[in-house]
Amino acid sequence: MLDSRYSEPGATEVPWETVRERFAGAGVYWLTTVRDEGRPHVTPLIGVWLDEAFWFTTGAEEQKRRNLHGNAAVAVTTGTDALHEGLDVVVQGDAAQVEDQGTLERAAQAWLAKYGEEWHFEARDGGFHHVQGGQRADVFRVTPLAVHAFGKDPYSQNRYTF
């Protein structure tokens, strides 16, 4: 839904399909988690859009993984740094770890399809293992509670709730 308070006159609602396509097609995202003391932690990462949710990975010792242990609330953003063009998207939701073998195999295929061999994962032991070596990664799914889309030509602010 277009929020006219923060949109230029003449702006129209960005269709959900356009927002979803923009978000799904991004190469890099920014994940915000919350530290135990309440301060935000922001980190760039890659991810995929699968089953109407955002998926990402993290190592067991990473700060974002430790943060998720205490607070599942996250925000995931992507967009452009251009001032007068593009579409910025913020997805808010709760991150839930995924350990089901069949589901992980489908997610690994989504990573391979999007990023190629550089990010080819094998699903096993309740997580991902990079086929070229490396540590095991936990896999998380963020089902959106709210999505905000910020258009820039003209300026518009849209909110979608689920």
The domain that contains 80 carries what CATH number?
2.30.110.10
Check the CA dihedral 48-54-77-1 and report its sign: positive
How many whole angstroms separate alpha carbon 152 and alpha carbon 79?
A: 11
pLDDT in tens, 85-126: 999 999 999 999 999 999 999 999 999 999 999 999 999 999
pLDDT in tens, 12-34: 999 999 999 999 999 999 999 99
Residue 162 has what pLDDT? 87
74 in a domain, yes or no? Answer: yes
DSSP SS3 for 13: coil
108 in a domain, yes or no? Answer: no
- Binning the chain into helix, strand and coil, the percentages to the nearest 5 are 25, 45, 30
107 in a domain, yes or no? Answer: no
Query: Nearest 10 degrees: CA dihedral of 152, 19, 1, 155?
Result: 0
105 in a domain, yes or no? Answer: no
How many whole angstroms separate alpha carbon 132 and alpha carbon 120?
A: 8
Residue 136 has what pLDDT? 92
124 in a domain, yes or no? Answer: no
Residue 120 has what pLDDT? 94
71 in a domain, yes or no? Answer: yes
User: Of 125, 121, 126, 106, which Cα lies nearest the Cα of 51?
Assistant: 106
152 in a domain, yes or no? Answer: yes
Residue 131 has what pLDDT? 87
How many whole angstroms separate alpha carbon 64 and alpha carbon 144?
A: 18
Query: Structurally, how many domains does the chain consist of?
Result: 1
User: CB count, 10 Å around CB of 148?
Assistant: 18
Which whole-number Å values give the CA distances from 47 to 1, 61, 77, in the listed order? 26, 19, 11
132 in a domain, yes or no? Answer: no
Range of the domain at 61: 4-98+137-161
DSSP SS3 for 120: coil
Residue 77 has what pLDDT? 98
Residue 14 has what pLDDT? 93
Q: For residues 86 and 152, is the Cβ–Cβ distance under 8 A?
A: yes
Residue 134 has what pLDDT? 75
pLDDT in tens, 131-155: 888 789 999 999 999 999 999 989 9
pLDDT in tens, 19-74: 999 999 999 999 999 999 999 999 999 999 999 999 999 999 999 999 999 999 99
Residue showing tokens 């943060």: 67
